Amino acid sequence: MTRSFSNLAALACLVLGALAPLIFGGQPYVLYVLTLALCYTIPAIGVNILYGYTGLVSLGHMGFAGVGAYTTALLMKDVGVPFVPALLGGALAAGVLGVLVGIPCLRLRSHFFIVVTLAVGMILFTLFNNLDALTGGAEGLPGIPRPAPFSIGPIDFEFRSLTGFYMLTFVVTALIFALQFVLVRSDFGRSLSSVRQDEALASARGVNVFGHKLMAFALSTAIAGAGGAMKVLFLRAAAPMSFDMHESINLMMMLILGGAGYLVGPVVGAITFIAVPEFLRIAAEMRFIFFGFVLLVLARFAPRGICGLAESAYKKLGRREKTVVGYS
């Protein structure tokens, strides 16, 4: 990956994201859509760690997001836990479940692992839908409180307004983005990449393949949990439909669209998938048809997504850079 390209793109996203309330302050609808896109960016970052950097496909990730979402919602609504510990609790619950699922299932290879994630996602969805006492069943869980306002010195922060909640989601996303940044640039991240490229070789070079996969899976599910939590806090209601198989597929799709294995891939993907059609006023079904075709074209001609295309364009514009190992 071209490091200068990657850092430049990340910096641009950060600046644009922070300035969004100033730019779009007068347009609540734009902020609403951007907040929603950020809520998907978080679990997409989780999937990026798993798929983009470790090479494992999960088609049940929104199930884990749901575990985080319901845990956070219940902690805030019924136990009265404040936002930060509740969010961490949700992420922890999803991560612990990720470890429990990962220990037996990560021994399976390629499509067997994919099928297991699909099955786990379906089981979780059934549970959200039917554990009425806990999750409110198909009706969902309404009335999740907004995070409490607080002040640092003379500055007040509140999350009732759209701008306030946008900034909160932005900060959470930025922190998780930073986590992704640190993770993939660390030795651990480089070992993950070696697992993705050649498991046998990585293992021969002394990488504990199973341990790395498990760690990546746990982190990925925990991040997905935090994303699910932000989504239900934003919508102020948790419903099983938000965490079904189609949502998991959409999540994979966002990442592939944006560019798996790129730091900003999840950001670009979620915004393209959620926000662009909204602003172009494309009806929901037409959007899926359109993105379905995009996915077919990407699978065939540009498996590295929008970021991959942007990177090649950037390299053509600018000089140097050695060849990049292809990702497929």
Partner 1 sequence: MTTAIFEQFINGTMMGSIYVLMALGMVLIYGVMHVLNFAHGVLFMVGGYLAHLFFFNLTGSYPLAILGAMVSLALIGVLLERAVFRALRDNLRMQIVASLGLIMIIQNGVVQIWGPHALQMRPPPVEALVRIGQLSFTVQHFVIIGVVAVSVAALYLFLTRTRLGTAMRATSQHPEAAVVVGIDPNRVYTLTFMIASALAGLGGALLGPLFLIFPQMGDAPMLKALSAIIIGGMGSVPGAIVGGLGIGIVESLSTLVVPTDYRDTIVFGVLILMLLIRPWGIFGVRVRGEH
| Interface residues toward partner 1, by CB under 8 A | 55, 57, 59, 104-105, 108-112, 114-116, 118-120, 122-123, 126-127, 129-130, 245, 249, 252-253, 256, 285-286, 288-289, 291-296, 298-300, 303, 328
In angstroms, what is the minimal distance from the CB of 247 to partner 1? 12
When the beta carbons of 175 and 296 are compared against partner 1, the nearer one is 296
Long-range contacts for 128-132 (Cβ within 8 Å, ≥24 apart)?
128/66, 128/70, 128/240, 128/243, 129/240
DSSP assignments along 148-217, one per residue:
PPEEETTEEE-SSSHHHHHHHHHHHHHHHHHHHHHHHHSHHHHHHHHHHH-HHHHHHTT--HHHHHHHHH
Strands 237-238 and 150-152: unpaired
When the beta carbons of 96 and 115 are compared against partner 1, the nearer one is 115
When the beta carbons of 109 and 205 are compared against partner 1, the nearer one is 109
Which amino acid, 287? R
When the beta carbons of 34 and 257 are compared against partner 1, the nearer one is 257
Residues 6+ apart with CB under 8 A from 211: none
Helices (H), the chain: 3-23, 28-47, 61-74, 83-105, 110-130, 132-135, 162-185, 187-197, 199-204, 209-235, 245-258, 265-270, 276-279, 284-301, 305-317
In angstroms, what is the minimal distance from the CB of 174 to partner 1? 28
In angstroms, what is the minimal distance from the CB of 152 to partner 1? 44
In angstroms, what is the minimal distance from the CB of 300 to partner 1? 6
When the beta carbons of 59 and 141 are compared against partner 1, the nearer one is 59
- Give me 34's structure tokens: 């951007």
When the beta carbons of 182 and 299 are compared against partner 1, the nearer one is 299
Residues 6+ apart with CB under 8 A from 57: 51, 113, 114, 117, 252
In angstroms, what is the minimal distance from the CB of 171 to partner 1? 32
**Nearest alpha-carbon partner for 94 in 221, 211, 245:** 221
In angstroms, what is the minimal distance from the CB of 92 to partner 1? 23
When the beta carbons of 29 and 112 are compared against partner 1, the nearer one is 112
In angstroms, what is the minimal distance from the CB of 115 to partner 1? 6
Residue 86: half-sphere exposure toward Cβ, Cα within 13 Å: 25
